[in-house]
């Protein structure tokens, strides 16, 4: 399945980035642009794995990143977008200029989840999140080195008796409101909101998807944008 972590390569630096490393990365990207992350560490003179470089740039060093606290308006937008999109942090982040998916994810997990819970909203907490709380307690009780328990539940997928894979899509709340638009001839290239359609297509052969979702309803960006506009105004 997954490959071995790229950071496992011997001799690579891990953990917090130093100011010097930041400078090297910024300098290199300013001169050569983003992309081709695999070659960046070597070319920039960094002893970091490519993913680490990308993450550092995307979440911290990018010049267009907005610093400072998330304001009430942004918070409101996050809540609404999360209600619409679920844990699609990157999609949510694209609607909040200057904010990163990581930042929004952290903000959600640290602030909003708790806040909404206090207000009586039901927030689904994963088993591992619950476990995290237990780990925290243990950690603070000086029980260290808690091994990471593997692994996630994985893609929700079942197989019927014929071996047909049935992918259970991530739930969305609004699909009953929207009719699929079969006529849409939009620009696929920029259709980031079509991600769900992609997810379904990926599991191409012998695939049945349950319930109505963004995916099988073929909701395209245009419709989703309209929906967002509408629901955010409400």
Partner DNA sequence: AACTGAGCCAACCGCCCCCAT
Partner DNA sequence: TATGGGGGCGGTTGGCTCAGT
Contacts of 203 (CB under 8 A, 6+ apart): 165, 167
Please tell me the distance from the alpha carbon of residue 85 to that of residue 96, in angstroms, as a whole number.
14
Say whether residue 110 binds DNA (CB under 7 A): yes
Please tell me the distance from the alpha carbon of residue 17 to that of residue 14, in angstroms, as a whole number.
8
Say whether residue 35 binds DNA (CB under 7 A): yes
Alpha-helix runs per DSSP H in the chain: 19-32, 40-44, 50-56, 72-85, 89-94, 101-107, 113-118, 127-140, 195-202, 221-233
The region of 24-32, 71-79, 107-115, 208-216 touching DNA under the rule CB under 7 A is 107-115
The region of 126-134, 175-183, 214-222, 224-232 touching DNA under the rule CB under 7 A is 126-134
How many CB atoms sit inside 10 A of residue 172's CB?
Answer: 21
Report the residue from 63, 120, 150, 234 that binds DNA according to the rule CB under 7 A.
Answer: 150
Please tell me the distance from the alpha carbon of residue 101 to that of residue 94, in angstroms, as a whole number.
8
Nearest to 148 by CA among 164, 162, 135: 135
Say whether residue 191 binds DNA (CB under 7 A): no
Say whether residue 56 binds DNA (CB under 7 A): yes
Say whether residue 136 binds DNA (CB under 7 A): yes
Q: Measuring CA to CA, how many Å separate 74 from each of 77, 82, 95? A: 5, 12, 10
Say whether residue 59 binds DNA (CB under 7 A): yes
Pick the closer one to DNA by CB: 175 or 197.
197
Say whether residue 17 binds DNA (CB under 7 A): yes
Pick the closer one to DNA by CB: 122 or 234.
122
Say whether residue 7 binds DNA (CB under 7 A): yes
Say whether residue 5 binds DNA (CB under 7 A): yes
With H, G, I as helix, E, B as strand and everything else as coil, classify residue 219: coil
CB of 227 to DNA, least distance (A): 18
Contact 44, 56 (CB under 8 A): no
Phi-psi region of 51 (alpha: psi -120 to 50; beta: other; left: phi over 0): alpha
Applying the rule CB under 7 A, the residues between 64 and 103 that interact with DNA are 87-91, 101-103
Where do contacts with DNA occur on this chain (CB under 7 A)?
1-5, 7-8, 13-17, 35-38, 48, 50-52, 54-56, 59-60, 87-91, 101-103, 105-107, 109-111, 114, 126-129, 131-132, 135-137, 140-142, 146, 148-152, 154-155, 198-199, 201-203
């Amino acid at each position: 399945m997954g490959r071995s972590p790229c950071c496992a390569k011997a001799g690579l630096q891990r953990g917090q980035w130093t100011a010097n490393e930041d400078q090297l990365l910024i300098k290199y990207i300013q001169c050569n642009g983003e992309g081709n992350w695999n070659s960046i560490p070597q070319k920039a003179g960094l002893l970091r794995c490519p993913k680490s470089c990308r993450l550092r740039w995307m979440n911290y060093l990018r010049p267009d990143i907005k610093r400072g606290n998330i304001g009430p308006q942004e918070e409101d937008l996050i809540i609404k977008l999360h209600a619409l999109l679920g844990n699609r942090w990157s999609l949510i982040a694209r609607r909040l200029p200057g904010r990163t998916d990581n930042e929004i994810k952290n903000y959600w997990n640290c602030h909003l989840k708790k806040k909404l819970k206090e207000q009586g909203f039901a927030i689904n907490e994963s088993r591992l999140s619950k476990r995290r709380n237990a780990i925290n307690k243990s950690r603070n009780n000086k029980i260290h080195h808690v091994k990471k328990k593997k692994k996630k539940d994985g893609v929700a997928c079942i197989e019927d008796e014929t071996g047909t894979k049935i992918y259970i899509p991530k739930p969305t709340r609004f699909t009953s409101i929207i009719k699929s638009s079969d006529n849409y001839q939009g620009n696929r290239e920029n259709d980031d909101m079509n991600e769900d359609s992609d997810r379904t297509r990926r599991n191409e052969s012998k695939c049945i998807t349950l319930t109505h979702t963004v995916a099988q309803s073929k909701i395209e960006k245009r419709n989703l944008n309209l929906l967002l506009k509408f629901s955010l105004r409400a």
